[in-house]
Amino acid sequence: MKVGRNDPCPCGKLKPDGEPVKFKKCCLSKAEVMPIPKKERRIMNFSRKDFICKPYRPCPKCHKIRFGLVFSAGGINSFSRECFECWHRDS
């Protein structure tokens, strides 16, 4: 849980009157200097198969019903067909 600036300092330091010292007056500057641990690196792997989608048709080369649509970066009107099995392409 994150400590707010006006919350009591988690180190437990007290003022002379017995009140807890605010985090911003005590350890906030130390917390800003401390290095923040790096988050666990997440890696996503994609293959060409991830971009071939329905509707599937029979492939002209291998005749399996795995000849799907591949949309390019040009937009929704820009696509080609590619076989999921033998990688045959047709524009």
Note the pLDDT tens digit of each residue in 64-82.
Answer: 998 998 877 666 667 888 9
Q: Do residues 69 and 52 make contact, with C-beta atoms less than 8 angstroms apart?
A: yes
Give residue 39's pLDDT.
67
With cut-offs at 50, 70 and 90, classify the pLDDT of residue 62. very high
Percent of the chain clearing pLDDT 90 (strictly above)? 13
The predicted model scores a pTM of 0.44
Give residue 1's pLDDT.
62
DSSP state of 86: T
